[in-house]
């Protein structure tokens, strides 16, 4: 299946908070996928990011409204896009949702998780922030992460990291969390260059692995870490959130909000096993293991300049060798 064919048309609902109105536009059909024509980076702005939040559960609508409002109030954010992936949600539900939403709603043509990385034409910034619908960072964390990304613009930057490892006994790759190192940044909160979205979506090298993401309905974030590591030959960058991020998908927050645990990425043990299977499968299909370990973490400190922790010591980030 090519993504181009599946994108014959999609509906865009644009909502602006002041004044409140909703426009519905039908786009397409396209003969070739326009997003795969290289976007001239000179036409992209560098001073702000576009946020793409993935939404699915209707019971989370109030939370998404609050998260979108927080993002749109941030000086680091140019545009907030809500990618609504529940195809069964009636249009009326979404339009009334849109009335109190500081975001543009996009309805992709299928619920494929690959759409999270689709280089939508409305992305006019170089930096793209991909986020789950249950993560609410405060203003300071958003701008801090953005600053860290700006000094490492080719890498994936984010607050939540995991790791790959090889299990000699089962002769397969596993998905894990290690104290010292990491190789995968999660889509709970991930900043990356728009170019990587084009590579992920359009490059033939990844067509089979994109197909695995659809089959498993999982692992799009792992695949993106493969794509970026392979193309820039560097591991990702972990930024310390220091309590500046509320993770409503985290069981510890459930009581507070009375929200349930239905998250795209919160089913634990089985989840970890499936993620290991994805790594093994991506490795098999690509015939190589591009994931790279990183060891440092950018920690917030006094002043503008980010400091990185390395071997228990703090050093300016640009002096850090991963
Ligand atoms: C998806 O939309 C349908 C139709 O409105 C709804 O019944 C279902 O609960 C939604 N799924 C979730 C997880 O909210
Ligand atoms: C609109 O959304 C904001 C931000 O989450 C919330 O505080 C407010 O109560 C909502 N208003 C209505 C009428 O739903």
Residue 312 pLDDT: 62
Which protein residue has the closest C-alpha to ligand 2 atom 14? 100
Structural domain that includes position 50: 3-319
138 lines ligand 2 (CB under 6 A): no
Counting residues of the chain whose pLDDT is more than 70, the rounded percentage is: 77
58 lines ligand 1 (CB under 6 A): yes
Report which bound ligand comes closest to the CA of 260: 1
- What pLDDT is stored for residue 310 in this prediction? 61
What does the pLDDT read at residue 301?
Answer: 62
Active site residue 221: yes
Could you tell me where the DSSP H helices lie in 23-126? 61-72, 91-98
Give the pLDDT score at 96.
92
Catalytic residue among 132, 133, 134, 221: 221
Using an 8 Å Cβ cutoff, are 118 and 143 in contact? Answer: no
The reported pTM is: 0.81
Under DSSP, the state recorded for 105 is E
Confidence at residue 316, expressed as pLDDT on a 0 to 100 scale: 55
Contact predicate 161/236, CB 8 Å? yes
Distance between CA atoms of 225 and 231, rounded to whole angstroms? 10
Question: Given this model, what pLDDT does residue 162 score?
Answer: 95
Q: What is the pLDDT of residue 181?
A: 93
3-state DSSP assignment of residue 294: strand
Question: Is the CB of 92 inside a 6 Å radius of any atom of ligand 1?
Answer: no
Q: Which whole-number Å values give the CA distances from 161 to 108, 177, 188, 240, in the listed order?
A: 27, 8, 10, 10
Residue 306 has a pLDDT of 53
- Distance separating alpha carbons of residues 178 and 84, to the nearest angstrom: 33
| pLDDT, tens digit, 9 for 90 and up, residues 106-125 | 999 998 999 999 999 999 99
Extract the residue ranges of the chain whose pLDDT is less than 70. 1-34, 250-268, 301-322
Å from CA of 39 to ligand 2 middle: 36
Number of domains in the chain: 1
- What is the domain-level CATH number for residue 137? 3.90.550.10
């Amino acid at each position: 299946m090519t993504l181009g064919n599946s994108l014959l048309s999609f509906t865009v609902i644009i909502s602006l908070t002041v004044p409140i109105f909703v426009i519905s536009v039908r786009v397409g059909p396209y003969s070739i996928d326009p997003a795969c024509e290289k976007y001239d980076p000179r036409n992209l702005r560098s001073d702000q990011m576009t946020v793409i939040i993935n939404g699915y559960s209707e019971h989370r609508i109030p939370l998404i409204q609050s998260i979108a409002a927080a993002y749109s109030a941030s000086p680091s954010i140019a545009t907030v896009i809500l990618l609504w992936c529940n195809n069964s949600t009636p249009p009326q539900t979404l339009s009334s949702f849109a009335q109190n939403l500081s975001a543009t709603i996009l309805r992709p043509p299928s619920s494929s998780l690959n759409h999270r990385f689709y280089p939508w034409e409305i992305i006019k910034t170089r930096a793209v922030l991909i986020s789950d619908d249950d993560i609410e960072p405060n203003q300071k964390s958003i701008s801090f992460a953005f600053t860290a990304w700006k000094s490492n613009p080719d890498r994936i930057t984010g607050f939540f990291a995991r790791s790959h490892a090889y299990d000699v006994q089962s002769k397969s790759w596993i998905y894990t969390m290690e104290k010292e190192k990491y190789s995968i940044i999660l889509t709970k909160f991930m900043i990356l260059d728009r170019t990587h979205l084009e590579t992920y979506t359009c490059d033939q090298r990844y067509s089979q692995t994109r197909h695995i993401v659809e089959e498993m309905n999982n692992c799009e974030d792992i695949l993106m870490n493969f794509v970026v590591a392979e193309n820039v030959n560097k591991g990702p960058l972990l930024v310390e959130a220091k309590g500046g991020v509320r993770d409503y998908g985290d069981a510890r927050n459930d009581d507070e909000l009375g929200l349930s645990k239905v998250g795209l990425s919160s089913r634990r043990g089985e989840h970890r096993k499936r993620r290991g299977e994805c790594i093994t499968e991506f490795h098999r299909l690509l015939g190589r293991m591009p994931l790279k370990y990183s060891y440092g973490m950018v920690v917030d400190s006094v002043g503008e300049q980010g400091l990185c922790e390395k071997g228990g010591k703090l050093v300016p980030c640009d002096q850090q060798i991963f």
